[in-house]
Structure 1
Amino acid sequence: MTRGLFFSGALVVAPAIGLAMFCDAARAGGAKDYYTKRAWGSFNGGQMNTSILVFRDLNRNGVYDLGDRPMPHVAVELGKPNGDTVMRWTNAGGFANFRMSVTQRDLEVVDPGHYSLRVVPPPGWSITTGNASQESDYVVSPGSPGDMIACATTHPVGLAPDLTISGAVAAGSRISFTGPDGVTAAAKVEPDGWFSAPATPGEWLVDVSADGATQRRKIVVGGAPVVLSAFSGKGGPAEEPLPEQHVVGFDDLLTTSGVFEIPSGYGGLNWYNLVAMHQRFTDGPGYVNTTMSGEFIAYNSSGHPAQAFSDKPFDFEGAYFGAGWNDAEGETLVLKAWRGDQPAYEDQVVLSASGPVYFAADYMRITRLEIRTQHHWQAAIDDFAYRTGP
């Protein structure tokens, strides 16, 4: 009876299982086991990007240097050896990426041969670096991340906006421009009063004559096209500008990547429904492309009207404006200003996500400025310039 209680199968099997577990646990590895070298003659089977960088050439010198900025949402075409093309947009870092792999056949670059990359600028932009199209042979290279490499790497491509001075005047007005070189030339005025003329960086004088009276504006053309506020058509001496000048870039409101509603008192003005954020906090390319100084940008919250106002009169000198999102290309910005309860100014500006225009407002002695968009898309705003009194 006692021997029957000790089933022989149990006595044999249990120790065998325990021995196997013990052997697995006891197995030790050395450096060669844990730090194995690749067999470099074999295919890796992975993928990598072949890329090109597009940047905003802020100083327009044709060189990617300090101060230049990446430019998202620019179309780049990849030309394949078989004649097909594939288009990709540049990302927030300014790179257009095309995936490359010998073994993963559903990617953009899979066969060795001659490829081209061509940057297609947005309307109103030009290449400054002279290298919109670049070519290279691609060859198989087993063991590299995508098992293929480019024989020649790409160089950054710089873009800059075509500089213009534009605006609207009364029908029948005459307009002339005096550039930084001192040369004066007349500009064509369309039947609807619209005018636009090419410009170069520097200080310009704009003279508008109508009904025997002449108005003169002095403006500075920088890194973006300039849109002038509407001329009143009234002659007479201009008001003297207020003495204390301010330019806010919204960079000193926060240091994180979040959003921050601009509080009243910032810069000596009161603010409503205007928000500041880091330019890359969202995926909107227009926020990156509109930023002119620092890393932060402002916008009208949720695309609804925003205001800057003060009990004391201030001069709104101007600001850079762009569309925050590429889906809002061509959105219309509406600016209205009041002196107390009396309307004083109103203008409209067409916005782009590719880059800003500088709206030269020259709004004098106002107490309230409204910033809104016709279709409730967000307008990106940078370097808001105004003047206050003592």
Structure 2
Amino acid sequence: MSLNNDKFPVREPGGVYDFEVVPPPGWLISSGNPKQSVRFLPLQGSVAGIYAEKPPHWVGLMPELLISGRVIGVGDAPLPADVSITLTGPGGDSVTTGLANNGDFSVPVTQGDWTVVFASAASDWRLVRTVTVNNAPVEMVTLRVGDALPAPQPRPVLEHFDWLSRSVIDKLPNGHLGLNWDYLLAVHNQEYAGPGYVNGLTSGHAVAYNSSGHPVTVTAPAGQVFDFVGGYFSVAWNNAHEEVLELEAFRDGERVARHETTLSYLGPIWLDAELRGIDKLVLTTRHYWQFVADDLMFRVQGE
């Protein structure tokens, strides 16, 4: 703004100007004030020559909370037409939905614990999953009709990266939390200029990213397996908005799961994996941008 300066949109003394915040796709205004009107008055000697009589109030933004995912058929078999998904929320209310032609589903939800039941009578299939919704939308790793859940590994471990203290950046060493790590770095969320390092933080002060954009591999010690429960993922740089993260899980050299998700620098998604009894997890960005990860949950063998 600048008094009577045509180079600035706010310039008229006594003028009333309307301001509107347009949320990005997938985001909602939480404060109920997307539009505000502000009058500007002249003031000799001030920086701009005018000032806001009552400056606009802050506008709150929040991600739209969803549980989404995809169900596919077995091998080359088509998806059964009777596949249904029933979600029961923390208040006990349930909603049942079908699938899009490509097997996708997406349901608006609230915070709390949700029970998600996948069923197909034609395939004699019923799978029950529990999903916790916090402050981010949830995307479930692609499910295949007939999938069952093996018994979980006994010891849950959470990698929040907040052990980072002796420097602002550090490698994850092999053996950390009972797993082996390749090309995943822990970093203070303020170290780099990329907005995703800050917006992707979900706890503490540190996040992780894939070094130089290279694929990250997490493996179990020889002869062991682990579960990947899930984690929060975003992308580090605004230029990389909608970069694709590819997840692959392996057991005894065979790929048992594959999933793709689109990342945002504005905030994370919770990738709900629940991949059990695997021995290798690979996380790759399609164009070698840095993803940002926080609060990765695993289960490992041992007490």
TM-score (normalizing by structure 1): 0.70
Q: Does 1:287 align with 2:197?
A: yes
Higher RCO (Cα < 8 Å, 6 or more apart): 2
CA–CA distance in 1 between the matches of 2:37 and 2:205?
Answer: 34
Q: Superposition pairs for residues 70-149 of structure 1, below 5 Å?
A: 100-102=1-3, 106-112=7-13, 113-149=15-51
Question: Which residue of 2 is the match for residue 246 of structure 1?
Answer: 157
Q: Does 1:354 align with 2:263?
A: no
- The code of the aligned residue for 2:106 comes to S
CA–CA distance in 2 between the matches of 1:200 and 1:321?
Answer: 20
Runs of 4 or more off by more than 3 Å in structure 1? 100-111
Compute the displacement of 1:214 (Å): 0.8
- Residue 208 (structure 2) aligned to one of 293, 298, 317: 298
Compute the displacement of 1:265 (Å): 3.0
- The code of the aligned residue for 2:25 comes to P
CA spacing shift, 1:118–1:234, aligned 2, 3 Å = same
TM-score (normalizing by structure 2): 0.88
CA–CA distance in 2 between the matches of 1:129 and 1:185?
Answer: 27
Q: State whether residues 65 and 136 of structure 2, in contact with CA within 8 Å, keep that contact through their aligned partners in structure 1.
A: yes
CA–CA distance in 2 between the matches of 1:126 and 1:336?
Answer: 32
- Residue 313 (structure 1) aligned to one of 194, 216, 225: 225
- Residue 160 (structure 1) aligned to one of 62, 71, 74: 62
Q: State whether residues 254 and 260 of structure 1, in contact with CA within 8 Å, keep that contact through their aligned partners in structure 2.
A: no
Q: State whether residues 164 and 188 of structure 2, in contact with CA within 8 Å, keep that contact through their aligned partners in structure 1.
A: no
Task: Kindly tell me the number of residue pairs found equivalent between the two proteins.
Answer: 289
Compute the displacement of 1:223 (Å): 0.8
- The code of the aligned residue for 1:326 comes to N
Q: State whether residues 243 and 264 of structure 2, in contact with CA within 8 Å, keep that contact through their aligned partners in structure 1.
A: yes
CA–CA distance in 1 between the matches of 2:187 and 2:5?
Answer: 39
What's the RMSD between the two structures over aligned residues? Answer: 2.0
Q: Which has the larger radius of gyration?
A: 1
CA–CA distance in 1 between the matches of 2:45 and 2:159?
Answer: 52
Q: Superposition pairs for residues 216-227 of structure 1, below 5 Å?
A: 216-227=128-139
CA–CA distance in 2 between the matches of 1:142 and 1:259?
Answer: 50
CA–CA distance in 2 between the matches of 1:108 and 1:304?
Answer: 44
Q: State whether residues 122 and 354 of structure 1, in contact with CA within 8 Å, keep that contact through their aligned partners in structure 2.
A: no
CA–CA distance in 1 between the matches of 2:172 and 2:3?
Answer: 52
Specify the SS of the correspondent of 1:157.
coil
Specify the SS of the correspondent of 1:169.
strand
CA–CA distance in 1 between the matches of 2:4 and 2:160?
Answer: 49
Q: Which runs of 5+ in 1 are unaligned?
A: 1-99
Identity %: 37
- The code of the aligned residue for 2:152 comes to P
Q: Does 1:365 align with 2:277?
A: yes
Q: Superposition pairs for residues 175-324 of structure 1, below 5 Å?
A: 175-210=85-120, 211-234=123-146, 238-254=149-165, 258-311=168-221, 312-324=224-236
Specify the SS of the correspondent of 1:241.
coil
CA–CA distance in 2 between the matches of 1:255 and 1:160?
Answer: 34
Compute the displacement of 1:232 (Å): 2.9
Q: Deviations over 1:258-302 (max 9, x none)?
A: 432322233332211112222232222222221111222111112
